[in-house]
Chains A and B, each alone.
Chain A
Amino acid sequence: MKYTLSILVENHAGVLSKISGLFSRRAFNIDSLAVGVTNDPNVSRITVVADGDEYVVEQLEKQLNKLIPVIKVKRHTNGDFISRELTLIKVHCPAAKRFEIMKIAELMQAKIVDVSTSTITVEFCNTTEVTKTLVDLLKPYGIRELVSTGTIALEKGASDVTK
């Protein structure tokens, strides 16, 4: 089962290595990790998508909480949060295929951000699942390169990470 965790940490040098080191030494499997500063410049927010059962994710939360620079750990439950990841996909694209690929991008509400005689680069911002659909649609044309950020997540409605 997949879990999404939001972790607020002090925005210091070395904090990310403390967090990532914890994952590897406690043998937690991480699907993705994204980090960025919040509206408070002293605080960074890390979003982690982890794979495991209830026992694993509970241990993960507790061990994260033990790290001194960790301010808050919140596990998101299904449906109460919005998640996004940003993906750039460079697709093999001779002139003859350009229209087809542009149509797919339009259908999926992806943006064309770069074009050359033999390639086209698509920018896409959505959930992991929808991104997979787009990638599946583009695969037959030949994906030359794909780069993706980790998932970021935010609570729906008025609730926030501190609650």
Chain B
Amino acid sequence: MISGAEIMVKCLEAEGVSVVFGYPGAAICPFYDELLNSQIRHILVRQEQNSAHAASGYARASGKPGVCVATSGPGATNLITGIATAYMDSIPIIAITGQVRSDLLGRDVFQEADITGACEPFVKHSYLVNKTSDLPRVFKEAFHIASTGRPGPVLIDIPIDIQQKKIEEFVYPEKVDIIGYKPNTKCHPGQVKKAIELITSSSRPVIVAGGGVLSSGVKLKLVKFAEQTGIPVISTMMGIGVMPSDHELYLGMLGTYGKAAANRSLHQADLVIVCGARLGDRAVAAPDQMSENSKIIHIDIDPAEIGKNVKTTVPIVGDMKNIIDSLIEGTQDYHVSKLWSETLKGWKKELFRKPPVFEGYVEPRAFVGKLSSMLKSKAILVADVGQNQIWCANNFKIREGRFLTTGGMGTMGYSVPAAIGAKLARPTRDVVVVCGDGSFQMSLNELGTIAQNHINVKIIIMRNVRLGMVRELQDNLYGGRYSATFLDETLDFLKIAEAYGIDSAQANSNEEAEAIAEKMIKTDKPFILVCNVSPDTPSI
């Protein structure tokens, strides 16, 4: 005989899960008890939301679904923001929640919450398990759904009696067959042919690469395609890292907070090849104008994204990895015009602005740029949300590493827990957090997780004692009336670090910051670097 809880653990083992992030409670205790008999490592976070962010960071760094666990009621509802973040950013995570006894469901008993109902808009799929014997199928399906097609979070809600009940035997299914879920990953050959015709007859094409290129695992091939044809590449925020930042064909991030050269090329292009991007409002503020000026090829694994934000000339539904080879092959004799290449190079130079220097402060953009050359080539940078995100997106020079941030949801407090997940997935890589003093305080409780588990992540706090991005908005749109955007100046981050037993230092100039960073990178312990930044430093 085998209990539901034991089955849950065995399912995770069968899926090759080696680490889960979570927070226990009464309704998930049978699972936690069984976890003691397993090799699976459990990381106790300090609040459930962070277990979902950690699972997200883990998933993005490892390429496998991340797993987070919480109890019923408040534990489950705390997960929601983390699940919604993974949904908006298309990250595969499995969220497991305990639930009250199935015979008590709907009676508002202690710590009961309808979590499958509450999460409905934010999950790719969810299960409320009502039979122990369903568990193997549900887990198999959940991992399949989360990681195939357009990735996303799947929630499994399991009442405590289902975890306790024993059944005869455990058999993990080898295959899944979900009648309503057959993601189309093949790209239609006729459409691919049309796309190649459009590309080879265009004179000013540009590639817009999004997060889909990274989750498809084709970034090196995309670089090859760009190099062979000379087509310049711009990326969305989720697509940063598809190409080394200093590659001559890379024009930077597009959008409201993006690079001028990237935006200009998008508007001057006669053909835009959108790869795995949804072109949200922050990337393209006026999508109608875009399709007026140019033809658009849109490649996406999610058919609902095609035509949602921009009108498309040639839509292609499928996985980038099934089309990129055909694109490379079909465009062998094609190269963009010399004029277009030269124009872009010119823009890249002329539209580069040197950041102003504020005496007595760290200039964050210059420092982030410098930091990238100090880290190992495969370093993972995790940026939070706010001005720090834009400083990193535009100035961190990616080589072979990753840039993790929440570009879709924009959840403050994402960076520290996501970095914990990323470090556990990639223990040999440098994992560095850049956050603001506002976003840091949204998840500073996770210093407890970092200290307890000796997780070697470096945290750089850009301290301007403001909620910088909102303040900037108030400057630009609300006549400089600062409403609720000042933080407390007396807060001493170094003392907080000390309380958690984490080494720290602060810097008031770029020289100081660089000197501390140099030492920080060499240690194999977590470290907090507080950079005092002028409140007047703009986002771009």
- Residues of A with Cβ closer than 8 Å to B? 9-10, 14, 17-18, 21, 25, 55, 58-59, 62-63, 65-71
Q: Which of B120-128, B365-373, B376-384 forms part of the interface with chain A?
A: B120-128
Chain A: interface secondary structure?
helix
Q: Does B186 contact A (CB under 8 A)?
A: no
Q: Are A14's CB and B128's CB within 8 A? A: yes
Binds A, one of B235-243, B302-310, B411-419: B302-310
Cβ contact within 8 Å between A21 and B180 = no
Interface residues on chain B, number (Cβ under 8 Å): 17
A147 to chain B, nearest CB (A): 28
User: A67: which of B128, B180, B302 is its contact (CB, 8 Å)?
Assistant: B180
Chain A residue with the shortest CB-CB distance to B308: A59
Contact, CB under 8 Å: B120 / A17: yes
Nearest chain-B residue to A21 (Cβ)?
B120
How far apart are A47's CB and chain B's nearest CB, in angstroms?
Answer: 18
A32 vs chain B, min Cβ distance (A) = 22
Instruction: Say yes or no: B303 contacts A65, CB within 8 Å.
Output: yes
> Looking at the complex, which one of B116, B178, B302 makes contact with A68 (CB distance below 8 Å)?
B178
By a CB distance below 8 angstroms, the chain B residues around A67 are: 180
By the criterion CB–CB under 8 Å, are A59 and B304 in contact? yes
Is the pair B120, A63 in contact by a Cβ cutoff of 8 Å? no
| Residues of B contacting A58 in the complex (Cβ-Cβ under 8 angstroms) | 307
Q: Is B482 an interface residue (CB 8 A)?
A: no
Closest B residue by C-beta to A43: B179
Chain A's closest residue to B183 (CB) is A66
CB contacts (< 8 Å) of A25 on chain B: these are: 121
B181: contacting residue among A18, A21, A68, CB under 8 A: A68
Q: A65-B304, A71-B179 are in contact. List 9 more A-B contacts (CB 8 A).
A: A9-B180, A10-B179, A10-B180, A14-B116, A63-B304, A65-B303, A68-B125, A68-B178, A69-B180
B165-194 Cβ-contact flags toward A at 8 Å (1 or 0): 000000000000011110000000000000
Tell yes or no: B145 within 8 A of A by CB. Answer: yes
Interchain CB contact under 8 A, B303 and A68: no
Q: Which of B120, B179, B302 contacts A66 (CB 8 A)?
A: B302
Distance in angstroms between the alpha carbons of A101 and B378 in the assembled complex: 82
Interface assignment of B117: CB less than 8 Å from any CB of chain A: yes
B117, A62: Cβ atoms under 8 Å? Answer: no
Provide a sorted-by-A list of 17 A–B residue pairs whose CB atoms are within 8 angstroms. A9-B180, A10-B180, A14-B116, A18-B120, A25-B121, A55-B307, A58-B307, A59-B307, A59-B308, A62-B308, A63-B304, A66-B302, A68-B125, A68-B145, A68-B181, A69-B180, A70-B180
Cα-based distance from A30 to B180 in the complex (angstroms):
23
Determine the chain B residues whose CB is within 8 A of the CB of A62 once the complex forms.
Answer: 303-304, 308
**Beta-carbon contacts of B296-340 to A below 8 Å, as 1s and 0s?**
000000111001100000000000000000000000000000000
Query: Closest chain A residue to B121 by CB distance?
Result: A25
With A58-B307, A59-B304, A65-B303 as known contacts, state yes or no: A21 contacts B121, CB within 8 Å: yes
Min distance, Cβ B82 to any Cβ of chain A, angstroms: 19
Q: How far is the CA of A37 from the CA of B235 in the complex (A)?
A: 47
**A59–B303 alpha-carbon span in the complex (Å):** 9
**Max count, chain B CB within 10 A of own CB: residue among A9, A58, A68:** A68
Least CB distance, A93 to chain B, in whole angstroms? 43
Cα distance, A58 to B180, chains bound together (Å): 18
Least CB distance from A79 to B in Å reads 26
A21 CB → nearest B CB, Å: 5
Within 8 A of A (CB), among B324-363: none
Within 8 A of A (CB), among B193-243: none
Cα distance, A67 to B121, chains bound together (Å): 11
Please, what's the 1-or-0 string for B76-89, where 1 marks a CB less than 8 Å from any CB in chain A? 00000000000000
Residue among A9, A21, A25, A62 with the highest chain B CB neighbour number at 10 A: A62
Against A, the Cβ 8 Å flags (1 = close, 0 = not) of B109-144 are 000000011001100110010000000000000000
User: What is the CA–CA distance of A71 and B125 in the complex, to the nearest angstrom?
Assistant: 14
- Which residues of chain B are within 8 angstroms of A71 by Cβ–Cβ distance? 179-180
Contacts of A55 in B (CB 8 A): 307
On chain A, the residues within 8 Å of B181 by CB distance are: 68
Residues in A whose Cβ lies below 8 Å from that of B307? 55, 58-59
- From A72, which residue of chain B is reached at the shortest CB distance? B180
List of A residues within 8 angstroms of B302 by Cβ:
66
Bound CA–CA A65/B179 (angstroms): 12
Q: Which 9 A-B pairs have the closest CB atoms?
A: A62-B304, A68-B125, A71-B180, A68-B181, A70-B180, A25-B121, A21-B120, A68-B180, A62-B303
Q: How far apart sit A69 and B121, CA to CA, in the bound complex (Å)? A: 15
Could you say which residues of chain A place their CB within 8 Å of the CB of B120?
17-18, 21
List B contacts of A63 (CB < 8 A): 304
A10 to B304, CA, bound (A): 21
* A59 CA to B305 CA, complexed, in Å: 9
Q: Write out the residue numbers on chain B whose beta carbons fall within 8 Å of the beta carbon of A10.
A: 179-180
- Tell me whether B304 and A66 are in contact (CB under 8 A): yes
Q: Which A residues are in CB contact (< 8 Å) with B116?
A: 14
User: Quick one: which of B466-517 are within 8 Å of A by CB?
Assistant: none
B141 to chain A, nearest CB (A): 8
- With A and B bound together, what is the CA distance between A6 and B535 in angstroms? 56
Q: Which residues 282-303 of B sit at the A interface, judged by CB distance below 8 A?
A: 302-303
* Docked CA distance A20–B128 (Å): 19
- A72 to chain B minimum Cβ distance, whole angstroms, is 8
The residues in B between 138 and 163 inclusive whose CB is less than 8 angstroms from any CB of A are: 145
How many whole Å from B216's CB to the nearest CB in chain A? Answer: 18
Most A CB atoms within 10 A — which of B121, B178, B179? B179
B121 neighbours in A (Cβ, 8 Å): 21, 25
Contact B117 A17 (CB under 8 A): yes
Q: Bound complex: CA of A62 vs CA of B523, how far in Å?
A: 51
**CB-nearest residue of chain B relative to A70?**
B180
Give bound CA distance, A21 to B303, whole Å.
Answer: 20
Question: Shortest beta-carbon distance, B254 to chain A, in Å?
Answer: 24
Docked CA distance A15–B302 (Å): 21
A17 to B116, CA, bound (A): 11
Nearest-neighbour CB distance to chain A for B28, whole angstroms, equals 22
CA distance A12 to B302 in the complex (A): 25
